């Protein structure tokens, strides 16, 4: 069993000393347990938080512990009711080849799911994040303008498409012309603005002539700076993530703009609400799964995935994910289907 354990807490960007690859013999199962073989490992921005011991909503990974992560696995042997050898299982077994489970918190995807890895993206946690954050906090109305960054990622791409289904105008923000093209041509955004372009603010203004009613916050930083002055009265801001800051070791230099932001919230009567998807909206998961499965089957939601071969590639692929190198949902293929 190969596994990545946390070797050292990173300062800033994770490096080659952050994780350590260990090899041990495959784990053995006992009564009431099953052996799972990892096929797909999800890479997600929240993993940066788990590497750190700064105060957060979830406990950090301890030094020497297997790095956590969502996985899609196959059952090798089973003494757990409802799980048979060959079944596909969505779980949280981390960065390793094999894991033992008693079935707790495991979702059986059946013997032959159409796209097993999609359970790590549009049909799982990131899709649920988009669906619940937009639906419960953003609540877009027909004709309103919804803006989201990371527009080709699993959360942002889904946010834009749900906004369209609800009759709103969807404006994406993404890094580079190729991703912007994909957002418009494949995902169906009405417009997409490249935040790396020199005239980003002017482009955003052009793409949001009626201002912004819902800003689904995924990134923070300069994107938030450009969006905030364009928020309309009574705009809603689901605060989902701040990826531009995850590797930061200190607050940026510059004037203290807290007073400016509070003034904006007051005058524009903004609603900004943070959420942690399963803690806040876990009770809605069944509704999400039904609705999203329907949309995907009807071809109303497109989804792009980037599969990288080999568990050993995971650390580098993760660092790249935080820098915007992924084009679509990044998953690691740990073993054959």
Q: Which residues bind ligand NDP (CB under 6 A)?
A: 44-46, 126, 129, 149-150, 152-156, 174-175, 179, 195, 218-219, 221, 223, 240-241, 243-244, 275-277, 321, 324, 326
Instruction: Indicate the SS3 state at residue 163.
Output: helix
How far are the Cα atoms of 173, 188, 214, 335 from residue 168, in angstroms, in the given order?
Answer: 16, 12, 10, 41
CB of 152 to ligand NDP, least distance (A): 6
Q: Smallest distance, Å, CB 176 to ligand NDP? A: 7
Rounded least distance, CB 275 to ligand NDP, Å: 6
Residue (140 or 150) nearer to ligand NDP, CB: 150
Angle (CA) 278 45 95, round 5°: 90
User: Residue 10 or residue 324: which is nearer to ligand NDP going by CB?
Assistant: 324
Q: Beta strand pairing status for 107-110 and 212-216?
A: unpaired
Q: Yes or no: say if 95 and 69 are a contact pair by the CB < 8 Å rule.
A: yes
DSSP per position, 246-282: TT-SSPPSS---HHHHHHHHHHHT-EEEE--HHHHHG
Closer CB to ligand NDP, 34 or 243, in the complex: 243
Query: Coil, strand or helix: which one is 94?
Result: coil
For ligand NDP, give the closer residue by CB, 35 or 243.
Answer: 243
Between 18 and 158, whose beta carbon lies closer to ligand NDP?
Answer: 158
- Min dist. Cβ of residue 129 to ligand NDP (A): 4
Rounded least distance, CB 247 to ligand NDP, Å: 9
């Amino acid at each position: 069993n190969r596994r990545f354990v946390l070797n050292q807490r990173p300062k800033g960007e994770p490096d080659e000393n952050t994780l350590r690859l260990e090899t041990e013999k495959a784990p053995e199962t006992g009564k009431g347990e099953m052996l799972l073989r990892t096929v797909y490992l999800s890479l997600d921005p929240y993993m940066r938080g788990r590497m750190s011991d700064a105060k957060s909503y979830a406990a950090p990974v301890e030094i020497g512990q297997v790095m956590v992560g969502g996985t899609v696995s196959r059952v090798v042997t089973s003494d757990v009711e409802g799980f048979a050898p060959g079944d596909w299982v969505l779980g949280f077994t981390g960065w390793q080849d094999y894991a033992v489970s008693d079935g707790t918190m495991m979702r059986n995807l059946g013997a032959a799911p159409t796209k097993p890895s999609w359970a790590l993206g549009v049909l799982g946690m990131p899709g649920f994040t988009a669906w619940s954050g937009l639906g419960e906090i953003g609540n877009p109305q027909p004709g309103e303008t919804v803006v989201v960054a990371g527009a080709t990622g699993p959360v942002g791409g889904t946010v834009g498409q749900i906004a369209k289904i609800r009759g709103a105008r969807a404006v994406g923000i993404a890094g580079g012309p190729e991703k912007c093209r994909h957002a418009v041509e494949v995902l169906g955004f009405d417009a997409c603005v490249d935040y790396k372009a020199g005239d980003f603010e002017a482009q955003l203004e052009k793409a949001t002539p009626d201002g912004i009613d819902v800003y689904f916050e995924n990134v923070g930083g300069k994107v938030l700076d450009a969006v905030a002055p364009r928020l309309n009265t009574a705009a809603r801001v689901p605060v989902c993530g701040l990826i531009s800051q995850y590797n930061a070791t200190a607050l940026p230099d510059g004037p203290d703009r807290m007073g400016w932001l509070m003034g904006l919230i007051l005058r524009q009567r903004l609603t900004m609400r943070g959420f942690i998807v399963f803690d806040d909206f876990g009770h809605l998961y069944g509704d999400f799964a039904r609705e999203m499965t329907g949309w995907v089957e009807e071809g109303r939601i497109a989804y792009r995935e980037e599969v990288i071969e080999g568990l050993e590639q995971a650390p580098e692929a993760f660092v790249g994910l935080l820098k915007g190198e992924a084009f679509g949902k990044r998953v690691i293929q740990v073993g054959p289907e």
